Structure 1
Amino acid sequence: MEQDHVAHTAMGVPYGAAAPPPYGVYPPIAYQQAPPPPPPQQHQLQDFWAEQCREIEQTTDFKNNSLPLARIKKIMKADEDVRMIAAEAPVVFARACEMFILELTHRAWAHAEENKRRTLQKNDVGAAITRTDIFDFLVDIVPREDVREDAAAAAYAAAGDPLSYYYVQQ
C-alpha cells in the first residue's frame, strides 16, 4: 500500500485523486473567457435585502413606523371596494412601502454614482425606474424626457447588468 502511495504521488497526482486528462483535452486558453465581475451595486443590493430580512425577523415592536399609519389607512380606504381594514394591514403595508422607497432610492443612488455625482437628481430616479422591470408601473408617472442615459450606463445595460432587469432604449 505504501509503495502504491509513493508511485502515485511520484507521477504528480496526490494519492486518491484522479489522474489529469491527457494532453489536448483542455480547450486552448484563448477560448476560455472569465465571466465579467459583478457590478458593485449587485453586491450592495444583496446586502440590502439580507439586512431587510434580518430586520424583519428581529422585529418585535410594530408600533414604530417610518410612515404615518393613518395616512396609509386613508389611502387604502380611498378604494371603494375596501370596506374594512384589519389592524395589521396598514402596519405591513407601511413596511412594504418603506422597503420599496429604500430600493428605488438605492438604485437611483447607484445611477448617480455611475455618473460620478454625489447629489441624487430626478433623472437618477427615472433611470432606476427605466432600468428595472419591477418598476414598470412607474414608467408613465416619471417623464421619459428627463431620463438621460450616459455611455457608461448604456454599456452596462448592454453587457447584461444584473441590476438592469429591463432596459428601454429612448
Structure 2
Amino acid sequence: MSGSKEEEKVPGRSTSLPMSRVKLIMKSSPDVSHINQDALFLTTKATELFVQHLAQYSFRKGCGGESNALGYSDLAKAAEESEPFHFLTDILPKKILARDYLRSLEERSEDSD
C-alpha cells in the first residue's frame, strides 16, 4: 500500500481533496491532539462542498457570460460583496495596481501629518 490509512478508498467515502492535507491543516492548531477518522472525512467533505459553493456563486456573479473562466477577481468580488463570504476578504483581497497602492500610502501619510 502506497497511501496512508486515511487516503485509502473506502466505499462511499471518496473525496476530491487529499485528506492527509486537511489533517495536516487541522493538526496545525495547538488545540488538536487527535483527529478521529470520521471527523477528518466530514471536515474534508465539508471543505469540498464549501469550495464548490464559493466557486459556483463566484462564477454566477462574476462572469456574466463574458467567458467560461473563473478568475481570482471573481472570487475576490464574491468575498467582498456577499455577506456569507465576507470573512474571506483578508484571504482574497481585491487586486490593485502597485501605483494605486503607493498613492493610497502617500495619501494616508499626508492625512496623518
Provide TM-score, normalisation by structure 2: 0.67
How large is the RMSD of aligned CA atoms in angstroms? 1.7
Match of 1:61 among 9, 12, 15: 12
AA in 1 matched with 2:23: K
Match of 1:125 among 37, 57, 75: 75
Q: Does 1:113 align with 2:63?
A: yes
Match of 1:77 among 24, 27, 47: 27
Shift of 1:66: 0.7
Q: Does 1:142 align with 2:98?
A: no
Q: Equivalent residue of 2:44, what SS?
A: helix
Bigger fraction of residues in helix: 2
**Higher RCO (CA-CA < 8 Å; seq separation 6+):** 1
Moved over 4 A (4+): none
Shift of 1:113: 3.2
Q: Equivalent residue of 2:80, what SS?
A: helix
Q: Which runs of 5+ in 1 are unaligned?
A: 1-59, 147-170
Shift of 1:79: 0.5
Following the alignment from structure 1 to structure 2, what is the Cα–Cα distance between the partners of residues 115 and 75?
36
Shift of 1:83: 1.0
Q: Which runs of 5+ in 2 are unaligned?
A: 1-10, 97-113
AA in 2 matched with 1:139: T
Following the alignment from structure 1 to structure 2, what is the Cα–Cα distance between the partners of residues 136 and 112?
15
Q: Equivalent residue of 1:103, what SS?
A: helix
Shift of 1:68: 0.8
Following the alignment from structure 1 to structure 2, what is the Cα–Cα distance between the partners of residues 69 and 119?
27
Number of residues of Structure 1 aligned to a counterpart in Structure 2: 86
Provide TM-score, normalisation by structure 1: 0.46
Shift of 1:115: 5.6
Larger radius of gyration: 1
- Equivalent position of 1:53 in the other structure: none
Shift of 1:69: 1.0
- Equivalent position of 2:103 in the other structure: none
Shift of 1:122: 1.2
AA in 2 matched with 1:68: P
Contact 1:112 1:119 in 2 (8 A): no
